A and B are shown apart, each in its own frame.
Chain A
């Protein structure tokens, strides 16, 4: 590289001018320059001389001082290439761990932008410094990577007639593969570039970790977020502090996408009946929530999390979710509604789900056998009776799907009642007694851990 600049002193001056136009100080530019190119090629005094005695006076070349200094780079394609070469050399230093802030002190590009798409970050800076229409991105990109890969011939010419493969020229399956990695926000931006891309993008499956709708007296909001994998790290966006109507509208515009696949749909209705009466607009929104989830297609939701004052909403929301795709139901609820849950137990969505988790709220007032088809469940009961353990032995322990459950109990469990059915415990651990219940014709057994407040059962080998 040193030889290149020794043999082409004019290109060296172009690079210095490029540094000057970026408003980098002599010190900033000189340190970077010496690290990239051998120290002795330009002395600091010469550097200062160019900066203060020539560039500041508007002179690029003392032998040809007629041209305005700002035009020097714009009008000379080789000078522009020399600047790109200079940026590519700097980027190589960034790859070796030098700080991007040190290399481009006045650039607006973040470290993340430079790392994820270096040529575009350099290009933005290049246009800002030299002029907006000075070069097309594709040409800049071509030279940047050519230099980065060690080809320093500035005078070779691109074959512009050659067929260039672009995104829109790619086969459909390739386009699908590319769009699959884009998060919802980048997809919306891509679909805004043209109608044909909009149609294409909207037709692609979209996997998203979480969609949250919160409605309460004080603040309502919608957020899309969290990560399924690294692809989605940028996808967190939220609309907070809006009215219940705005939140519902925003929520509906997202959930209506038939290609959306959610890991988790979270709905939080932080309102009691007596509050609702004081906030009629909120009551209205909650009353139309059921309708807002109804489309001609089922919603692809793996897990529904519902926090609400009564158990009413579950019977309204569940029928909109795709049976079989829905695996987990998690609930926080305080006011049991016997009839609405009876409707829930009849739904295909409930019957085909694999996991039920009761997080907090009022006790589960319905017969426990409605939970026995789940692989896993947790629930809160008023009391745990002899009848409960008998029924478990009869039904739950015969289920081939069942893996584990936790039953929390408000009243203290009578251990001697349990022992009547399970026999003598195997061992004790703190306040808990541990029983084993063998599974017939199998090497497996259920380990049952009971203390005064909870029963845990787990299938083991």
Chain B
């Protein structure tokens, strides 16, 4: 088991009140471990609720197993916690949907998101799952910025969007997987139509 040190190296001890200096241990689904400050955890509503409910003491953190985050891998989680540590203590934006969101991508975030699309979408998925509002905002904005000025064909390439035909084929495949008889019924229906019958029955 490896311990990822990167997210926790830049801790400003003086800026954090004594009672906030606790660290928690988290483990990704590929067994990478991270130590994250309590203040950084507050950026994630999901993790914050989790640690509050657990009520760990400093001894518990060391003695009990790291808290497992089953569906996020180490590479993604490292980015998530780096972001949380950098933005710890910042206010969490509230979005009531009534006005257009004004989101600027700070330099740190832009650098952090210099990653391929696959990893970027994983980061977004993780931010949504862990409910980290501002990380979700900046990463979604980054994805939106990619669309600017592109043709529909280029957008398909950038976002790997399926065409209508591929979309329908995927739906059919999913349907068939659920109900193997569906294909047979459809073929029978097509055959009857070819023979001139209007009704299936």
Instruction: Let me know if B185 is at the binding interface, CB within 8 A.
Output: no
CB distance from A45 to the nearest CB of B (A): 37
Chain A residue at minimal CB-CB distance from B126: A165
- Assembled-state Cα–Cα distance A166/B128 (Å): 14
Task: Choose the segment among A171-179, A213-221, A332-340 that binds chain B (4+ C-beta atoms closer than 8 Å).
Answer: A171-179
Nearest residue in A to B122 (C-beta to C-beta)? A165
**Considering residues A138, A146, A168, A193, which has the most beta carbons from chain B within 10 angstroms of its beta carbon?**
A193
Roughly how many angstroms separate A261 CA and B101 CA in the complex, as a whole number?
Answer: 13
Of B34-42, B157-165, B190-198, the one with at least 4 CB within 8 A of chain A: B157-165
- A179 CA / B141 CA spacing, docked (Å): 9
Interface size class of A (residues with CB under 8 A): 35 or more
Nearest B residue to A208 via CB reads B100
- Residue of chain B at shortest CB distance from A181: B144
Q: Are A144 and B116 within 8 A (Cβ)?
A: yes
Q: Is the CB of A138 within 8 A of B136?
A: no
Contact A189 B152, CB 8 Å, known A117-B145, A137-B157, A194-B167: yes
Contacting residues of chain A (92-129) with chain B, CB-CB under 8 angstroms:
113, 116-117, 119-120
B12: CB under 8 A from chain A?
no
Main secondary structure, interface of A, reads: helix
Closest A residue to B127 by beta carbon equals A174
Q: Let me know if A142 is at the binding interface, CB within 8 A.
A: yes
Q: Besides A178-B143, A180-B140, A181-B103, 4 other CB < 8 A contacts? A: A120-B157, A169-B121, A196-B164, A230-B102
> B128 to nearest A CB, angstroms?
5
Indicate whether B23 reaches chain A with its CB closer than 8 angstroms.
no
A sample of 14 cross-chain residue pairs with beta-carbon separation below 8 angstroms, ordered by A number, consists of A119-B116, A138-B117, A138-B118, A149-B114, A166-B160, A167-B121, A167-B159, A168-B162, A171-B128, A181-B101, A193-B155, A193-B156, A194-B167, A231-B100
Partner of A120, one of B102, B154, B156: B154
Is B116 in contact with A205, judged by CB distance below 8 angstroms? no
A144 CA to B164 CA, complexed, in Å? 29
Main secondary structure of the interface of B (DSSP, over half): helix
Q: Counting CB contacts under 8 A, is B119 at the interface?
A: yes
For residue B6, give the distance in angstroms from its CB to the closest CB of chain A. Answer: 13
Given contacts A113-B149, A194-B161, A194-B164, contact A174 B124 (CB under 8 A): yes
Contact status B100-A180, CB under 8 Å: yes
CA distance A169 to B159 in the complex (A): 11
Within 8 A of A (CB), among B150-189: 150-152, 154-164, 167
Cross-chain contact A190 with B158 (CB below 8 angstroms): no
Q: Tell me, yes or no, whether B90 is within 8 Å of chain A by CB.
A: no
In-complex Cβ contact of B161 among A145, A146, A197 (8 A): A197
B151: A residues at CB distance < 8 A: 189
- Are A166 and B140 in contact (CB-based, < 8 A)? no
- CB contacts (< 8 Å) of B115 on chain A: these are 145, 149
Contact of A180 with B158 at beta-carbon distance under 8 Å, contacts A116-B148, A138-B117, A189-B152 already known: no
> Nearest chain A CB to B99's CB is how many angstroms away?
7
Kindly list chain A residues whose C-beta atoms are within 8 Å of the C-beta of B100.
Answer: 180, 207, 228-229, 231, 261
Given contacts A177-B137, A178-B140, A194-B167, contact A120 B158 (CB under 8 A): yes
Please tell me which one of the listed residues B101, B152, B164 contacts residue A190 in the complex, with CB atoms under 8 A apart. B152
Contact residues on B (Cβ < 8 Å of other chain), bracket: 35 or more
Question: Nearest-CB distance from A119 to chain B (Å)?
Answer: 7
Residues of A within 8 A of B (CB): 113, 116-117, 119-120, 137-138, 141-142, 144-146, 148-149, 164-171, 173-174, 177-182, 186, 189-190, 192-197, 205, 207, 228-231, 234, 261
In angstroms, Cα B90 to Cα A20, docked, is 50
| Among B137, B150, B151: residue with most chain A CB under 10 A | B150
Which residues of the other chain, B, contact A229 by a CB distance below 8 angstroms? 100, 102
Report which residue of B137, B141, B159 has the largest number of chain A beta carbons within 10 angstroms of its beta carbon: B159
Is the CB–CB distance between A181 and B121 below 8 Å? no
B17–chain A nearest beta-carbon distance, Å? 33
The answer to whether B55 has its CB under 8 Å from any CB of chain A is: no
Q: Which residues of B are found within 8 Å of A261, using beta-carbon distances?
A: 100
> Residue on B with the closest CB to A169?
B121
- The distance from the CB of A210 to the nearest CB of chain B, in whole angstroms, is 14
- Structural contact, B148 and A186, CB atoms closer than 8 A: yes
Q: Please name the residue on chain B nearest to A191 by beta carbon.
A: B152
Across the interface, which residues of A come within 8 angstroms of B117, CB to CB? 119, 138, 141
* List of A residues within 8 angstroms of B144 by Cβ: 178-182, 186, 231
Q: Can you list, as one digit per residue, whether each of B81-123 has a CB less than 8 Å from chain A (1) or not (0)?
A: 0000000000000000101111110000000001111110110
Q: Tell me whether B149 and A167 are in contact (CB under 8 A).
A: no
* Nearest CB of chain B from residue A257's CB, rounded to whole Å: 15
B51 at the interface (CB under 8 A from A): no
B24, CB-defined interface residue at 8 Å: no
| Distance between Cα atoms of A119 and B113 in the complex (Å) | 13
- 6 shortest A-B CB distances, which residue pairs? A181-B144, A165-B121, A207-B100, A145-B116, A177-B140, A167-B159
